[in-house]
Amino acid sequence: MAVEALRCKECGERYPLDARYVCERCFGPLEVEYDLSAIDASAVRARIESGPASIWRYADLLPFATPPASPLPVGLTPLVRADRLAERLGLGEVWVKNDAANPTHSFKDRVVAVAIAKARELGYSVVACASTGNLAQAVAAHAAAAGLDAYVFIPADLEREKVLATGVYGAKIVAVEGTYDDVNRLCTELSAEREWAFVNVNVRPYYAEGSKTLGYEIAEQLGFELPDRVVCPIASGSMFTKIARAFDELVELGLVARPERGGPIFCGAQAAGCAPVAEAFANGWDVCRPVKPNTIAKSLAIGNPADGPYALELARRSGGTIEAVSDREIVEGIELLAETTGIFPETAGGVTVAVLRKLAEQGKIAPDERVVVLNTGEGLKTLDAIADAVEVVRIEPRLEAFDRAFGLAGAAAS
């Protein structure tokens, strides 16, 4: 196994693989370090292709000495070719990675499966999280499957669908009167007081590794090739940067080649009502200015994103961008994806599709590019967002009533 140590992203100091997340020397964030030089790449590829239909087929590249037992399978979600969406946007080749097809219907199942597996290995019996919604559901479900107690902390104004779909698993739900950033601060304080594994606080380095599996899957599902461009939502910025890391690892192992034109180009997507990373990108800043969120895309509403500087660096280095779209554009993005692919995304998916559309309309995407756009959550989680956009024609149960509403055109055509 290639997993080596935890390493500070700022000063490079190394630490053992336990529950810690911040460098004692410089307070920089820690991440998992691997040594890929001794890996037999063709053996890894064979284990991937013959592995389970879940993220654990990539166990060689995850932070475990042996693949963990994981009772709720996650990942290997569909990568769907979206020709009708491409046509509507005047693009050549568009694929949708549909991560709504996970056990709790968002990409958060990936990060939680890895974090909880590590928490169990480290001997924790209680797991917890600070959540914008989807994480709470994933933690509650995976804790239930593993027989662990779960405490989930959420902003008090979260969507009802997400609260109920968390409580059903028996987790203790703590609704905090404040923003996600207030919830996160409380959890950071609590993590020093309790012997709990907070999946996105004290075991965050392992949690973050779960997002790499999105990158491995996209490459494998394209036949061990990389796309030219990825359009990806940004909350903390962790998933955005880890998809790039996954591609880099596959290139380093020689399992994929860089696209002929270079890249992949990384484009980040935020809601205008909470766009600290897009704002910093537009202004040429290296760090984000914290904001107070006000958007329907609550799952992306992090006002002080931990990985903002790394997301900015990736967008610039790869020739990409980070764009923001209004709530109205988000709803249009939801409808556009649903109408052209049959995939109904939550607000975060609407953000991503709206940014894809914006880039296409600005002529920023070449017609021969292969573009992958991420749908990270299920539309049924955020039904209120489209409540005003859906029209229902109500009639009496009589033929004349139908004809009055819809004319005779339908009857004549059949």
Q: Which 137-196 residues touch ligand PLP, going by CB under 6 A?
A: none
**What's the longest Cα–Cα distance across the chain?**
78
CB of 16 to Zn ion, least distance (A): 15
- From residue 334, alpha-carbon distances to 155, 351, 354 in Å are 24, 8, 8
**Looking at this protein, which amino acid is placed at residue 363?**
G
- From residue 171, alpha-carbon distances to 10, 210, 223, 227 in Å are 36, 22, 40, 39
CB of 377 to ligand PLP, least distance (A): 3
The span of 176-184, 186-194, 233-241, 323-331 binding ligand PLP (CB under 6 A) equals 233-241
- Residue 11: name its binding partner from Zn ion, ligand PLP, none (Cβ under 5 to 8 Å by kind): Zn ion
Among 54, 166, 236, 341, indicate the residue that binds ligand PLP (CB under 6 A): 236
Cα-based angle 153, 158, 162 (whole degrees, multiple of 5): 85
Nearer to Zn ion among residue 8 and residue 135 (C-beta): 8
The span of 101-109, 118-126, 144-152, 328-336 binding ligand PLP (CB under 6 A) equals 101-109
Binding mask 17-46 for Zn ion (x = CB under 5 A): ------x-xx-x------------------
The span of 46-54, 105-113, 223-231, 282-290 binding ligand PLP (CB under 6 A) equals 105-113
Nearer to Zn ion among residue 25 and residue 258 (C-beta): 25
Nearer to ligand PLP among residue 314 and residue 365 (C-beta): 314
Nearer to Zn ion among residue 8 and residue 114 (C-beta): 8
Contacts of 260-265 with C-beta under 8 Å, sequence gap 24+, read 261/228, 261/369, 262/319, 263/226, 263/228, 263/229, 263/318, 263/319, 264/226, 264/227, 264/228, 264/229, 264/230, 264/318, 265/228, 265/229, 265/230, 265/318, 265/319, 265/320
Among 62, 165, 234, 269, indicate the residue that binds ligand PLP (CB under 6 A): 234
CB of 105 to Zn ion, least distance (A): 37
299 lines the binding site for ligand PLP (CB under 6 A): yes
Binding mask 348-367 for ligand PLP (x = CB under 6 A): x-------------------
- Residue 13: name its binding partner from Zn ion, ligand PLP, none (Cβ under 5 to 8 Å by kind): Zn ion
68 C-beta neighbours (distance < 10 Å), count: 17
Could you tell me if 102 and 113 are in contact, meaning their C-beta atoms sit under 8 angstroms apart?
Answer: no
Among 54, 238, 318, 321, indicate the residue that binds ligand PLP (CB under 6 A): 238
Q: Which 2-21 residues touch Zn ion, going by CB under 5 A?
A: 8, 10-11, 13
233 lines the binding site for ligand PLP (CB under 6 A): yes
Q: State the Cα–Cα distance between residues 337 and 233, nearest whole angstrom.
A: 15
287 lines the binding site for Zn ion (CB under 5 A): no
**Looking at this protein, which amino acid is placed at residue 100?**
A
Site of interaction with ligand PLP (CB under 6 A): 106-108, 134, 233-240, 299-300, 346, 348, 376-377
